Amino acid sequence: MATLVLGGSRGIGLEIASAFARDGNHVFINYANDDAVADEAERRILNEGGSCTLVKADVSTPAGCTAIAQAVRQVAGRVDQLVHSAVMAYPTSILDAEPARFDKAVSVNGLSLLYITQALAGLLVRGSTIFYLTSRGGRTVIENYVAVGVSKALAESLVRYMAVELAPRGIRINSIAPGIVETDAVRAVFGNNASSLVAQSAQKNPSGRAVQSEDYVALMRFLASPAAEYITGQTFFVSGGANLHA
């Protein structure tokens, strides 16, 4: 089996890649720039007993996604799990946003979900599952988060439309929204406040703790299994109830 993780060299994407590799899948890790970080991610997968192929490409364009699909096709004849965890964190208010940077962020964070799904035609087969990593910022206003939030909202809508068109082919697609984790993207948006924000979120969480990788990975394993073949087009919050606060 094969799993492709966009933005899989660090953060939540790497945790997901690692988990699916331990399940016996060959993992393709897509990344954009940092070769050293990608090499370290590959070493982690191999040290944990998995197998891995690194794919350096820009997901923000159809051409970049086509290159990813070609790299996958050379090694595997199918993609069982596609995970979109790529994110470009551009901290800005909406009225001060630079059009070019905002456009790039929306392409990386949102439109690339469509580009990669189109590029993987023939590799996504009956039983394949697509996951899009989203957040509550796609539904609520968070300061300086608009470039990510608008992208997430766009992609969540894409998930619904794509679910209807993919269902007759036996391909499922769902959005996963983990609770806040201190990732590079979170640090880029919130700066020096990131650590305290994550800590406060854990303290205030109705379930009494911060989200852990196994919380969302366990859900994804289930959704990727035959037992979940009738579940598609949904958004699942994995936040211990934190998303229910006003």
Band of residue 149 on the pLDDT scale cut at 50, 70, 90 = very high
If you compute the radius of gyration of the chain from its CA atoms, what whole number of angstroms results? 17
- Model confidence pLDDT, tens digit, residues 32-67: 999 999 999 999 999 999 999 999 999 999 999 999
> Averaged over 88-106, what is the pLDDT?
95
- For the chain, domains (ranges, CATH) are 2-181+212-239 (3.40.50.720)
Cα 102 to Cα 141: distance, rounded to the nearest angstrom: 16
Looking at 133-142, 212-221, 231-240, which range is the least confident one?
133-142
pLDDT confidence of residue 95: 96
Summarize the confidence of residues 176-196 as an average pLDDT: 73
Strand ranges for the chain from DSSP E: 2-6, 26-31, 51-56, 79-84, 124-133, 172-178, 235-238
Q: Is the pLDDT of residue 190 over 90?
A: no
As a dihedral over the C-alpha atoms of residue 30, residue 218, residue 23, residue 155, rounded to 10 degrees, the angle is: -30
Residue positions annotated with a catalytic role: 145, 152
Q: What is the DSSP string of 145-189?
A: BHHHHHHHHHHHHHHHHHHHHHGGGT-EEEEEEEPP---HHHHHH
As a whole number of angstroms, the distance between CA 216 and CA 236 comes to 9
Identify the pLDDT of residue 184: 67
Task: Output 209 or 89, whichever has higher pLDDT.
Answer: 89
Round to whole Å and give the CA distance between 120 and 65. 8
pLDDT value at residue 92:
93
DSSP 3-state of 2: strand
Lowest mean pLDDT among 38-47, 68-77, 98-107, 199-208: 199-208
At 179 the pLDDT is 77
Chain Cα centroid distance, residue 206: 25
From residue 75, give the alpha-carbon distance in Å to each of 51, 70, 71, 151: 12, 9, 7, 31
Q: What is the pLDDT of residue 68?
A: 98
- When pLDDT is averaged across residues 4-31 and rounded to a whole number, the result is 94
> How would residue 110 be classed by pLDDT, with cut points 50, 70 and 90?
very high
The percent helix, strand, coil of the chain (3-state, each to 5) is: 50, 20, 30
Please state the pTM of the whole predicted model: 0.91
| The predicted structure's pLDDT at residue 194 | 66
**Cβ contacts of 96 within 8 Å, gap of 6 or more:** none
